[in-house]
Structure 1
Amino acid sequence: MAVRKRRRSASQKRRESQLKAGAWGGVVVLALLLTFWSVIWSYAVEVSIIGAVGGGAWWLWRTDRLIRVSDRRWRHDEAVSVGHRRLAEVDIMDGTQFEDFVADLCRRDGCTDVRRVGRTGDDGADVRGRLPDGRTMVIQCKRYNPKRKISNGEVRNLLGSQVHFKADVAIFVTTTYFSAPAERCAVQNGVVAVHRDHLGLWNNGAALPSLTAVNGAGQGDRRHRALRKDTYE
């Protein structure tokens, strides 16, 4: 018991010593403030004003950024929705009409020498031409039911067509979506994969070159929605 009392006593002494040191420190700081207040008060006021202005500016910037990001997302989602509604007309086209439709979109965006070449034995090319920057392009068009997926093999066939025609850019345009392997194959090999969402945007007025910047994104599932969210923030 005596040992425990001695330990408590030593612990209490340490706490008392720390409290006294803290109290004396506070007294010293207060004394210094009172002594030099006429000198430092103006600096304290300036620091407070700068902090308040800086905090207010940061809050306004953050609020504006959040509003802008939210607006961009809304506009993007609305454009996709409008584009999908307009695709109802595309869904009833036959293969030849769809190829002509894609060729017309290319011409609208400033592509030159655009011609539809799709037919039996077309070597995997439905539309050929030049992008606005002069690069040659080869396009494969697939008007499929939206529930069907573009396979990896179909993307590889387009790559073969690109080599055959010595085209600078290969573009795959479809009314449906790409399977995961097909999407990876397209992105890894520089194929512009224009799936249903992007076709809706293209049909709604987005330029073809702008679709290359979001290649491999936006296919509507949770993973792509997360990717799109990160892009807009």
Structure 2
Amino acid sequence: MLTNASFTVLAGETVGIVGPNGSGKTTLLRTIAGLIRPVHGSVLVNGVGLHRISARQRARTIALVAQDEQPSADLLAGEVVALGRTPYLPPWGAGGVEEQDAVEAALRAVDLDGFAERPVHRLSGGERQRVLLARALVQDTPLLLMDEPTNHLDITHQLDLLALARELGRTVVLSLHDLALADRYCDRVLVLHRGRAHSLEPPAVALRAEVLDTVFGVHATRIPHPDTGIPHLLITARPQSSRA
């Protein structure tokens, strides 16, 4: 159980949530998304209580790319993406040319140009993940949540996805297993450990060596990239003799 998680995300920030397996990353994201009601406290978006608004209003505020979500195999990729426009349609309404253009633009943004007519059952795991991201893009919400979005993606598309997240001009909160990616692409990082959340800090503070040693049991150091000089987080196993 995750307790005493209190933090404020600034508009336009990319915030990473990291922690060992079972630390509550998915639970926290689902709570922020309004799928789980907190036992104590509240979730506010622009000062509005998330659990006090309608499902349609919430869907216009927050888009969630869930971990290992499986869209219906009977749908086409474009149909899955178009579901992101549902909160903006009138009852029994259907999208027109504008929706089609938005779907195609979102698929291009995730490197799936021309995939609109591709059946979901013919997509790889990584392609399905990018289709779900495209659905979140056309939902056009100020807040985007992603739970382990780099799962199933090759390294090229991992880097492309995280770079895209930073370029959207939206507030993005995502959970990540890869600490080096969190360090490189996130403005601030929230570390979860043993049911509690550390303070939300810049990566150099949140992911400092002593924290990673305590929380993950690994040795970490920062070294400058040989070409750019930008510090990068280098993680290695802790020596066997120093493990508890």
TM-score by length of 1: 0.31
More strand by share: 2
**Highest Rg: 1 or 2?**
1
More helix by share: 1
Structure scoring higher RCO (CA < 8 A, sep ≥ 6) equals 2
